[in-house]
């Protein structure tokens, strides 16, 4: 467990990282405005059973303590933090992974021949009305890796190298986290 000063420093680093992710993703949102269908209430990527680093969980705990203490999670099947209209109740504090969803993604994998190859992907809702992914310039895609490595460094500073991930649904303090009609 980090000291109060270490926790505060890690949370400050996390907020800075989230702001940097938001700036970079906004550049890509503007670039791909004609194809993006993401918006308030679109929750196609807001899956249930998501887990986050302990430092991201701590940010949500600190910034949404009232919701976690008295609110109810969204019914199972979608992210616990959605309201019944599909909007995020912790949007300003949402995890890193949520901040670039929907954008054209670039990532690297090792193929069967043990060679590294680039792959690209995008939410199927955002596939039409834009250039084919393979035609996009590298800088017009979200590169998976650099921000995730920065998050790992912050998470390790907060919770140590062997940190466990935290269930978003498990952040709610209520003892009943089943389907909750009227989640607030």
Closest among 133, 149, 126, 156 to 53, alpha carbons compared: 156
Closest among 133, 137, 147 to 99, alpha carbons compared: 147
Q: pLDDT by residue for the chain (184 residues), tens digit each?
A: 788 999 999 999 999 999 999 999 999 999 999 999 888 778 889 999 899 999 999 999 999 999 999 999 999 999 999 998 899 999 999 999 999 999 999 999 999 999 999 999 999 999 888 899 999 999 999 999 999 999 999 999 999 877 889 999 999 986 544 444 444 4
Helix (H) or strand (E) holding 167: strand 166-167
pTM strictly above 0.75? yes
One DSSP character per residue, 66-128 reads HHHHH--PPPTTS-TTB-TTS-BTTGGG--GGGGSTTS-EEEEEE-TTS-EEEEEE--GGGSS
55 φ/ψ angles, rounded to the nearest 5 degrees: -70, -35
């Amino acid at each position: 467990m980090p000291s109060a000063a270490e926790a505060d420093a890690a949370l400050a680093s996390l907020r800075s990282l989230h702001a940097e992710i938001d700036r970079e993703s906004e550049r890509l949102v503007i670039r791909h405005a004609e194809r993006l269908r993401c918006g308030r209430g679109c929750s196609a990527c807001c899956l249930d059973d998501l887990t986050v680093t302990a430092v991201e969980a701590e940010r949500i705990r600190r910034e949404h303590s009232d919701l976690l203490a008295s609110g109810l999670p969204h019914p199972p099947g979608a992210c616990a933090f959605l309201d019944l209209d599909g909007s995020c109740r912790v949007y300003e504090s949402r995890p890193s992974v949520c901040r670039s969803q929907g954008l054209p993604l670039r990532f690297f994998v090792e193929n069967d021949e043990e060679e590294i190859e680039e792959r690209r992907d995008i939410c199927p809702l955002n596939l039409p009305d834009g250039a084919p992914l393979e035609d996009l310039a590298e800088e017009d895609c979200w590169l998976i890796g650099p921000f995730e490595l920065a998050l790992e460094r912050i998470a390790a500073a907060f919770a140590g190298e062997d940190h466990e991930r935290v269930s978003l649904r498990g952040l709610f303090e209520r003892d009943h986290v089943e389907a909750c009609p009227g989640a607030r």
